[in-house]
Structure 1
Amino acid sequence: MAPYRIRKYQESDRQCVLDLFSQGMIEHAPTTFRHLLKLPRILVFLLGLPLALFLVSGSWFLALVAGLTLLAALRFFAKYPWTEYVAHALRTDMSDISKTYLSGPGSCFWVAESDGQVVGTVGALPVEEPTPQKRQLQLFHLSVSLEHRGQGIAKALVRTLLQFARDQGYSEVVLSTSMLQYSAIAFYQGMGFQETGQNTLEIWAIIPFRILQFTYQLPSAQVSQAS
């Protein structure tokens, strides 16, 4: 296992960070595709349209072509939530990482470096509208390159962020992830985050997509609430 170190983001890291972020998001497209195939309304459409074409035309070939075309279109649409998220991030917080994450004392962006290469990222920003009497820090863009997973890099990045939150006097660390990011959900739960809410989005008004909220209550906050 190659050694790695966690350090603050530098402008020279920009392209590597953006590539890692984009690749990490697109990885979820196959899972999304499989999820779509399990939705009853999608299955009815995938089977019903080719069948209707066959009944009208009497051509199995036309029905087969229609079915394959629909599958190809569905694979393309499965990428949509992730490409749209990447595009949104590149227009907002990731458009100028230094300005967004490193210009104030209550936020930061870290990278994991191994053999001179950026192999992991995580960012932290204060929640703009925290709950009453709570200072909340939000975790963004935790990502580790495929080749460097299983080495404890993600845990090291999150622990760095949690220590930063304690040092800055935050009471909670919060984050959002999708219902399809199964490994991420298990990872955050293993790190001590607890699910605290859900939001359901409708993509194209037909595809339900749940966003899960997780919260890590810092020990100092737990002690003060207990007292």
Structure 2
Amino acid sequence: MAGIQIRKYRDDDAETVKEIFTNGLSEHVPSSFMHILKQPLTQMVLMCLFCALMASSRSFLLPILAATLFLAGTRQFVIYMLNRYIDKSFRSDLNKISEVYMQQKDSCFWVAEIDGRVVGCVACLPAARSPGCLELKRMSVRRSHRGMGIAKALCKTVADFTRDRGFPAVILYTSTVQTDAQKLYEHMGYTRLREFAIPELVGKILNFTLIEYRLDLQADGKKD
């Protein structure tokens, strides 16, 4: 924890925050790809494609080539979906952090700084799906600075802010492929409430699910 400073977001942090967020999400391409490959539907399509081409061509070369292209296409699909989510996040709040988080009641955005360099970020705002609670969002730490307690410090900052505002709990959502994040939240005392498929059709078909976590707090203050 030595040398780590958690401070409120400033407008000149904008590009760095977006870079940290983008790089953090991009790291989940391999795990998301493997998740899709493990789904019965994916395996069935791949097997049917291989068998059909094997029967029609009576050669191993064409089925193997087709399977390779299918796998490459699946990986590109994962990248496309992640980039789509990143773009959506930019439009919804990361292109206007001050407006969404710093100028609104019961909302805030923080960055973690070491030696003047921003290495992590986190935010919170009133939870849309859990009225009366705050939601932790946009948690990300540079890969080069993990294992230093930065994520724990950012989680604690949100919990303290939520408690000081008089809210009973912090809510957050993470995906099933973000296993390190799950371990962190559970270590910080969050309770896993439920799993549910992302609302988009593709998410339901591929069984890509989100996990809802809750951290109950003992309020020491009152809302302004």
Q: Structure 1-normalised TM-score?
A: 0.90
Gap change, CA 1:129 and 1:196, over 3 Å in 2: closer
Q: Identity across aligned pairs (percent)?
A: 38
Which residue is equivalent to 1:5?
5
Give a deviation string over 1:163-198, Cα, whole Å, max 9, x none: 111111111110011111111111101101101222
Alignment of 1:12-161 (within 5 A): 12-128=12-128, 130-131=130-131, 135-161=132-158
Aligned-residue RMSD, C-alpha = 1.8
Tell me, yes or no, if the aligned pair for 1:197 and 1:214 is still in contact at 8 Å.
yes
Shift of residue 82, structure 1, vs aligned partner: 2.4
Which residue is equivalent to 1:206?
205
Structure 1: gaps spanning 5 or more residues: 222-227
Tell me, yes or no, if the aligned pair for 1:137 and 1:174 is still in contact at 8 Å.
yes
Tell me, yes or no, if the aligned pair for 1:200 and 1:211 is still in contact at 8 Å.
yes
Gap change, CA 1:205 and 1:189, over 3 Å in 2: closer
The 1-side partners of 2:104 and 2:83 are apart by 29
Q: Does 1:215 align with 2:214?
A: yes
The 1-side partners of 2:101 and 2:219 are apart by 24
The letter of the residue matching 1:125 is L
Gap change, CA 1:129 and 1:212, over 3 Å in 2: closer
Tell me, yes or no, if the aligned pair for 1:101 and 1:124 is still in contact at 8 Å.
yes
Q: Structure 2-normalised TM-score?
A: 0.91
SS of aligned partner of 2:209: strand
SS of aligned partner of 1:219: coil
Tell me, yes or no, if the aligned pair for 2:197 and 2:203 is still in contact at 8 Å.
no
Give a deviation string over 1:113-132, Cα, whole Å, max 9, x none: 1122210000010124644x
The 1-side partners of 2:67 and 2:129 are apart by 47
Which stretch shows the higher mean deviation, 148-157 or 42-51?
42-51
Higher relative contact order (CA 8 A, sep 6+): 2
The letter of the residue matching 2:184 is F
